[in-house]
Amino acid sequence: MANVHNYLEYINDLAKNDPETLVARSETRFDNILNAVADRVENDNGREIIMLAGPSASGKTTTAKKLSEKCTARGMQTHVISLDDFYLNRGDIPLGEDGEPDFETVYALDLPKLRESLQMLLTGAPTELPLFDFTLGRRSDCVHTVTLGEQDVILVEGLHALNPIVTDALPQKNLLKLYISVSSRIYNERGKIVLNKRNLRFLRRMVRDYLFRASSVENTYALWDNVRKGEDKYLFPFKDLADVKINSVHLSAPCVFRDTCLKMLRGASLSGEHARDAERLMRALGQFEPLSPSLIPADSLLREFLGKKA
């Protein structure tokens, strides 16, 4: 807990008096973690598959991109694959207990195709990888062909990347399993939690949904309930199978998101538990010093949620 200085008073002191240092420390801490992972991959011999799993708004997309760049800079050509491209066509998705398609289950993926593709990549043979068209809800007619060189890397990211149903069919000597999430709460000096891990991820997702997915606060809350259930059922039971756990907390985030999130939450029409949760979040956010998003670097993980730097 103390190693990331996740205390309200520490964050506010820097945000008010030395905001550049607060941002730089968040960025450097995360970059050092990814450098250590890339060094580990470089020290392994032969083709490698990195499996990267994490809950919603943990920063999987940016982490995959940054880790890919670091591995490539070390002389290992790196290809990023999303498990989403292995979805079954919408009409073939298995139904959940409510009779609706269960898009969160591992069985919503074309598992035979996924296993076959990953195993073929490890042989060095040209491998046709599917592309999913989410607009049409089915697999595209186009494919992506990848040939893995002797020291190259495949980085597979998605909710089910640590599920034994996926990983047990792969040679373990070629496998590195990563789990990423916000793994630190923010406390005040009395030891009381100000924002918990899921709060921090929810704020990220709420901003991203609004800015890039035309999704209201109300809709983000409605989706979040099912997202949480899916994580509890399909992800968290397997997180301890990871070889490396990555904490994607950025202590600058509450300060950066503060004004935007307060405005969004105040303007939302919520009821019941969602309204009570929004009130709790507004009280918590109000305790942080505001920080301009312009201070966040263009390649920061937070840009996944804030958008490109102006």
Q: Is the pLDDT of residue 52 over 90?
A: yes
Q: Is the pLDDT of residue 4 over 80?
A: no
The predicted model scores a pTM of: 0.92
CATH number at residue 293: 3.40.50.300
User: What confidence category does residue 3 fall into, taking pLDDT thresholds of 50, 70 and 90?
Assistant: low
Percent of the chain with pLDDT over 90: 85
Rounded to an integer, the average pLDDT of 260-283 is: 97
What does the pLDDT look like over 194-231, one tens digit per residue?
999 999 999 999 999 998 888 899 999 998 988 898 89
Count of structural domains, the chain: 1
Least confidently predicted of 100-104, 232-236, 284-288: 100-104
Percent of the chain with pLDDT over 70: 99
Q: State which residues form the domain around 15.
A: 2-306
Q: Is the pLDDT of residue 1 over 70?
A: no
Rounded to an integer, the average pLDDT of 82-98 is: 92
What does the pLDDT look like over 7-27, one tens digit per residue?
999 999 999 999 999 999 999
Residues shown for the chain = 310
102 vs 276, higher pLDDT: 276
Exposed/middle/buried for residue 32 (C-beta within 10 Å: 0-12, 13-18, 19+): exposed
Six-digit token string for 49: 């598959």
DSSP for the chain reads -GGGT-BHHHHHHHHHH-HHHHHHHHHHHHHHHHHHHHHHHHHS-S-EEEEEE--TTS-HHHHHHHHHHHHHHTT--EEEEEGGGGBPPGGGSPB-TTSSB-TTSGGGB-HHHHHHHHHHHHHT--EEEEEEETTTTEEEEEEEEE---TT-EEEEESTTTT-HHHHTTS-GGGEEEEEEE----EE-TTS-EEE-HHHHHHHHHHHHHHHHS---HHHHHHHHHHHHHHHHHHTGGGGGG-SEEEE---TTHHHHHHHHHHHHHHT----HHHHHHHHHHHHHHTTSPP--GGGS-TT-TTHHHH-S--
User: What confidence category does residue 304 fall into, taking pLDDT thresholds of 50, 70 and 90?
Assistant: very high
Exposed/middle/buried for residue 69 (C-beta within 10 Å: 0-12, 13-18, 19+): middle
> 217-255: string of b/e by CB count within 10 Å (b at 16+)?
beebbeebeebeebbeebbeebbeebeeebbbbbbbbbb
Rounded to an integer, the average pLDDT of 288-309 is: 95
Six-digit token string for 200: 């921090």
User: What confidence category does residue 114 fall into, taking pLDDT thresholds of 50, 70 and 90?
Assistant: very high
Q: Confirm if 83 and 159 have CB atoms less than 8 A apart.
A: yes
Q: Is the pLDDT of residue 83 over 50?
A: yes
Six-digit token string for 239: 């997180």
What is the C-alpha to C-alpha distance for residues 18 and 126, in angstroms, rounded to an integer? 51
Q: Is the pLDDT of residue 29 over 50?
A: yes
What is the C-alpha to C-alpha distance for residues 32 and 173, in angstroms, rounded to an integer? 25
For residue 44, which of 177, 179, 173 has the smallest C-alpha distance? 173
Q: Is the pLDDT of residue 310 over 80?
A: no
User: What confidence category does residue 2 fall into, taking pLDDT thresholds of 50, 70 and 90?
Assistant: very low
Q: Confirm if 247 and 253 have CB atoms less than 8 A apart.
A: no
Find tokens 């997915």 and name the residue: 213
What does the pLDDT look like over 139-162, one tens digit per residue?
999 999 999 999 999 999 999 999
